[in-house]
Structure 1
């Protein structure tokens, strides 16, 4: 600010008005534009933080993804159909339209994250800086972009594949890429990210994406494509690290879900929050809070064994009305409850599922499944109990429901495993994906075929 004041005074002493006018037309020295901000390492690191910040928003892991990925399934019921003009309830009862604000918010939120990542990826190659640091920045941006596209294609199927910063006129010409094309880009981004990222970060940078996180999500992408052999080979190094306690805490967990997500190694990647008036919090209502009987968690307790400690994690507690899994302290309606995107149990269950699909009876498949169950104080499964490939498959599907409950994966698992018509009989198959938001269709020039079939 001192420099700015001195410059104005200097201008006042200039002889000609033209000279002064030329100075006043300059950009303030403390203002940044896209062209001036991303010119050095500091700018790239600041831009990268904005990529992580995009994941925090209510449009994504702050709220909307919990509705689209969990409420839609059979774990949760919205018992307040009049709230928010009913947009949340519409998702649950399969009556949403392209005007639903949760859908439009999520669509725009994901593309905001992608836009921010694309800026980083556009600018980073030309910046002179330490190559290792640069690669780590690029790897993180590719990880977040890949995660965003993975979510987009799980929600909508075919979506625009935007890989560079666009002007408005260019964006209006976007068309929808096929899900296969999107998945291939996700695979490319995650593969490169896994090579560029470290296996861990110093405590001061904990929460950034790691090579383990990129590899684990890559395995999940292959699972959605039913490429079970690639799931196995991709996840093998992560599973080995889990068994070696490289990822898991050295002290066995007393609960399946870590008591302290922020420091537990069981969390491979989570979207982080911080309460305390710093505007990095998540609203306590956005963690399945049962406020006046508005959120009903309806996972049958009979699905859990008596000793299974996961029962308490899906039960609404008296403190704050949130389920045990997300019952972190709150103040002024703020919580610092991180949201897990990928963790060790998910990796082990994906690994077990893939091994069973390629060859029933694989001892490694039983080992992975039982690692999750024994950590939850549930009994081990044996070939004498799960006597066929089909029985093992059913057991894994159930285990995923119990273990990953309320982690915004249930609906996608239902669709992926072709259980939609069984769990929701009578619901038309086109509702396995959501309608493209009308606001997006309105903004493109070629609207032909832009909406998903079955929706108006």
Structure 2
């Protein structure tokens, strides 16, 4: 690794904010009159476990909207889908609208999207402290010691991945800093950061167990570390980073945001890493959900906590009195509080659902009088994902009336029907699940070889079959297979915080209807003396995407200190 150069003190002060952890009553309760210090945390296994719990609280993210201000004063009220062709929010004040009209700035990026920015530095420091002081804890078994060490390296790597996918190269802190250290450390290159993450994930995988008892679900496993490595290498091999020149010229700093060369072998590394996840899954009891029927397999996967397809889920949130935030910002505005509004699925995204025979569905611009017929012809995942006219939101609500909705469809996935209205239980956010590994594998194989190999077909087809969809046609070209696997990824991973990052790593945001240009909805109308519905497509919005938006800006208050090179264009 090249020597780390300059980073301002605030980055490190963010890392040093561990003192705030000692005040987290939920995790670090202490008897009256007893001071809890860092030494206390390493005085016994019991104290260490409490510290590890706090590490998870700081270092494991979820993608739901949140106003949990116990760790940070920032909040987010929408999901990343609102800044893509997946959804449009029903109210205009959501963060995603700032992406859609290209008005997001370096001054507000932390508050509007990356609200965990400073928490990540705290989590990284905590992980470094654990790795440095773990041997001081008395009476640890070798197995337990390896597990905790692996958890710390995994969480450090996960937080670095979350930053690299947003910013490119960031400062690498591979030790805990003291106030007497040189705190002026700048950004490492993209390649150094990728290598750092992969090294952490590889070592974590070697130390972590394949599974835990049921009461310990949510802790990092071998499979989670392998999945993190696979996702990191997939992003590293993608056009945004795997390039001789970056998306915008950064002069002598180009290596902060791209490799500086294209290397096809990066796709081979990504393919091998994804295959390692698939091969390891049986030893952990991890498998695709295939035993619930083609009309329910997919839905079971996202509605059922701790199902066998989950590799890692965020379980740090349970019953919470502020569940109304995601509830109010994800439910349709006809079912939620006044002034709030949910996520409306665009026709741009609905068009991605094939017919059950594997051919494209037709949606004439002039409209039609057979909406329900169109729905019935679609991939079964459509009805398991989208709230459409005459469907149910949950069993407490009547059949859903989309006749007067702005776009004709609402997002249903992420909020299970089983949650009653006003529920305080937050569903688990799935960070990694096995289906992604298959799609990663298929994509990487296709990009590595001149023609897609049979293993690439099988990796996509196994996902399609479990939802009753036919296999992909044989003998597709490389470009045709790429289009099909990208579409499959969009449908299978819908609303799971993949699309926003996939669009940018593929560098397709500037295509019409992806993150810029025409965005479509459906107007619905009753047909006299008919049970069918008339639909008419219409353009509801023209979105803007600027090329600088392929990566986030660093928050301006940090850049102004003079040690962090701002990403180009910002």
Which has the larger share of helix? 1
Q: What is aligned with 1:356?
A: 446
Whether the 8 Å contact between 2:165 and 2:501 is mirrored in structure 1 is yes
Q: Does 1:428 align with 2:428?
A: no
Which residue of the partner structure matches residue 267 of structure 1?
310
Deviations 1:266-305 (A, max 9, x none): 011111255435x796843377333354422225333223
Hey, what's the Cα distance between the residues in 2 that align with 1:383 and 1:143? Answer: 39
Distance 1:413 1:57, change over 3 A: closer
How far apart are 1:206 and its partner, in Å?
Answer: 1.4
Q: 1:370 and 2:461 equivalent?
A: yes
Q: Is structure 2 residue 58 aligned with structure 1 residue 47?
A: no
Whether the 8 Å contact between 1:140 and 1:197 is mirrored in structure 2 is: yes
Partners of 1:245 and 1:116 in 2: CA distance: 28
* Mapped contact 2:65–2:78 kept (Cα < 8 A): no
Question: In 2, distance between residues paired with 1:145 and 1:61?
Answer: 21
**CA distance, structure 2, for counterparts of residue 160 and residue 95 of structure 1:** 27
Residue 370 of structure 1 deviates from its aligned partner by: 0.4
Show CA shifts across 1:296-329 (max 9, x none).
2225333223352321343245348861342251
CA displacement at 1:55 relative to structure 2: 4.5
CA contact (8 A) 1:55 1:271 kept: no
1:314 aligns with 2:385: yes
Q: Deviations over 1:380-417 (max 9, x none)?
A: 11315xx2111111111111111111111111101111
SS in 1 for 2:220: coil
1:112 — aligned with what? 122
The one-character-per-residue Cα deviations of 1:9-30 (angstroms, maximum 9, x if unpaired) are xxxxxxxxxxxxxxxxxx9652
Question: Residues 82 and 102 (structure 1 numbering): CA distance in 2 closer, same or farther, change over 3 Å?
Answer: closer
Would the alpha carbon gap of residues 46 and 287 (structure 1) be closer, same or farther in structure 2, given more than 3 Å must change? farther
Deviations 1:354-399 (A, max 9, x none): 1222222411111110011111222211315xx2111111111111
Q: Which of the numbers 249, 257, 267 marks the counterpart of 1:228? A: 267
User: What residue number does 2:344 align with?
Assistant: 296
Answer yes or no: is the 8 Å Cα contact 1:284–1:335 preserved in 2.
Answer: no
- Choose from 89, 93, 105 the match for 1:97: 105
Distance across 2 between alignment mates of 1:322 and 1:211: 33
2:164 alignment partner in structure 1: 153
Question: Of residues 206, 210, 213 in structure 1, which corresponds to 2:221?
Answer: 210
Change (3 A) 1:361 1:427: closer
Q: How far did 1:97 drift?
A: 0.9
Relative to structure 1, the CA distance from residue 271 to residue 48 in structure 2 (aligned partners, 3 Å threshold; closer, same or farther) is: same
Alpha-carbon shift at residue 330 of structure 1 (Å): 4.8
Any idea what the Cα deviations from partners look like across 1:44-82, whole Å, max 9, x if unmatched?
211111122125667x66547895743322212233223
Q: Provide the secondary structure at the position in 2 that maps to 1:256.
A: helix
Structure-1 residue corresponding to 2:245: none
Tell me, yes or no, if structure 1 residue 122 matches structure 2 residue 126.
Answer: no
Show CA shifts across 1:120-139 (max 9, x none).
Answer: 22221333311110110111
Question: Aligned partners of 1:280 and 1:203: how far apart in 2?
Answer: 27
3-state DSSP class of the match of 1:324?
coil
What is the match of residue 237 of structure 1? Answer: 276
Partner of 1:402: 491
Structure 1: state its 5+ residue gaps: 1-26
TM (norm. structure 1) is 0.82
After TM superposition, the structure 1 = structure 2 runs for residues 331-350 of structure 1, keeping only pairs within 5 Å, are 332=422, 334-350=424-440
Cα deviation, residue 148, structure 1: 0.9
What is the CA distance between 1:111 and its match in structure 2? 1.9
Residues in 2 aligned to 1:61 and 1:111: alpha-carbon distance in whole angstroms:
21
Is the CA contact 1:61–1:339 (under 8 Å) kept in the aligned structure 2?
Answer: yes
CA distance in 1, matches of 2:78, 2:502: 14
In structure 2, the partner of 1:248 is 287
Change (3 A) 1:389 1:408: same
Name the SS of the counterpart of 2:298 in structure 1: coil
Q: Which residue of 2 aligns with 1:180?
A: 191
State the distance in 1 between where 2:79 and 2:218 align. 24
Give, in whole Å, the separation in 2 of the partners of 1:173 and 1:68.
Answer: 34
Q: Flag the 1:332–1:111 CA change in 2: closer, same or farther, 3 A.
A: farther
Residue in structure 1 matching 2:474, options 374, 383, 408: 383
Give SS of 2:435's match.
helix
Task: Give, in angstroms, the shift of residue 331 of structure 1.
Answer: 6.1
Point out the more displaced range, 213-222 or 308-317.
308-317
Greater displacement, 388-397 / 279-288: 279-288
Deviations 1:184-231 (A, max 9, x none): 111111000100011111111112111111111211111112112112
Matched pairs, number? 419
CA contact (8 A) 2:205 2:221 kept: yes
